[in-house]
Amino acid sequence: MLERLAPASPDALLALIKLHAADNRADKIDLGVGVYRTGQGDTPVFGAIKAAEERLVETQASKSYLGPEGDMGFVEALMPYVFGADDPSMGGRIQGMQAPGGTGAVRLAVALAKAAGVSKVHLGVPSWPNHAQILADLPLEMAPFDHDCDDGTANIEAVLGAIRGAGEGEAVVLHGCCHNPTGIDYTPEQWREIAEALSDSPILPIIDLAYQGLGYGMEEDAFGLRTVLAAVPEALVAYSCDKNFGLYRDRVGALYVMAREAGDLPAIMSNAAALARANWSMPPDHGAAAVRLVLDDPALTAQWLDELDTMRARMRQVRERLAAAGQVGTLDLTPLGSQNGLFSMLRLDKEQVARLRSDHAIYMAASGRINVAGLTQGNIDKFIAALGDVAKE
């Protein structure tokens, strides 16, 4: 029976990783893999996480199961940073559970929406590829709209049109900040417009907050999410700690549910737990426990926030340098300075991307997405010059 399976299409990013590894050129540049890198090209373990892990080794008394909801101490410790310190549960209307990474949180959010009657999901494109793959796998109808405009700004009319035209049984996925893959976020005023449109629509918001702290700061990057939640009766939030705590391989995420009434949460969360049980049974504990220890200790929290500030400042410096280059051949790099997070999209065709790889040892996704953290003071001038070569007038 198994021999009937046809080969699946290879993952393009994994293939790119192999090509980069096999390239012997000393000046090769990897802009494909979506992880943070220092100016020396490393993806370090946060010092605050290291300290928490040492404490965990010394104090953890058991490796027994925690249940499908995971480490609730982690879930609750994170809530003030996501929803605000004044009333993180929104009067008891918000409850959460742990998930294996942001991917698990998105999967669980969409599955829960489907169980509640959602059959169509609106999604701005381009988007993180797993969004579409999860929708197809469940399956749910995907209704795409254009996320960005040709000038490097968000297409606010497209998202407002999708929301205003939606009916019962529909949801919309919104990136909370640091949009993947474009780096183009909604402005505060645009978030207010989105929140107002959502307040007048039966559509269910699903907000994917995977990069909080990597844009302008923890509070600033939560603005869109909090503005929406203040305007709507219910919402789902998928959260990832993989990037802002550097816990990629430990898969640390959470799903949060905001219900119309606090009394609705027990039934909702029982359905979420049943879906989690069928998907992964119990989430991995180690990374979430480390985050909990960091957030429970003021000194470790301060250390973590300092480390996050350093990451954000480095990416902002790279963006400013790219923006300062201005027009490079047919490419205008200026908009990259006002974009956020790890990623941006360059308007290059596949042939130009291939030439960057063959002629200049620069590796990036065929879509034109780059990870700006792959650029350093030592290679950014080479990158800009290479863009000028492949994108000649």
Structural domains for the chain? 10-45+311-390 (3.90.1150.10), 65-296 (3.40.640.10)
Work out the average pLDDT over 318-344.
Answer: 96
List of residues 6+ apart from 195 with CB closer than 8 A: 227, 228, 230, 231, 232
> Residue 371: pLDDT above 90?
yes
- With cut-offs at 50, 70 and 90, classify the pLDDT of residue 197: very high
pLDDT digits (tens, 9 = 90+) for 125-144: 999 999 999 999 999 999 99
Cis peptide before 181 (omega within 30 of 0): yes
- With cut-offs at 50, 70 and 90, classify the pLDDT of residue 282: very high
CA separation for the pair 56, 324 (Å, rounded):
45
> Residue 10: pLDDT above 80?
no
Instruction: Supply the mean pLDDT for the chain.
Output: 96
Work out the average pLDDT over 370-378.
Answer: 95
Handedness of CA 369, 174, 293, 271 (dihedral sign): negative
Pairing of strands 94-100, 120-125: unpaired
pTM for the full predicted model:
0.95
pLDDT digits (tens, 9 = 90+) for 91-127: 999 999 999 999 999 999 999 999 999 999 999 999 9
- With cut-offs at 50, 70 and 90, classify the pLDDT of residue 393: low
- With cut-offs at 50, 70 and 90, classify the pLDDT of residue 368: very high
What pLDDT is stored for residue 9 in this prediction?
A: 81
Annotated catalytic sites, by residue?
128, 208, 243
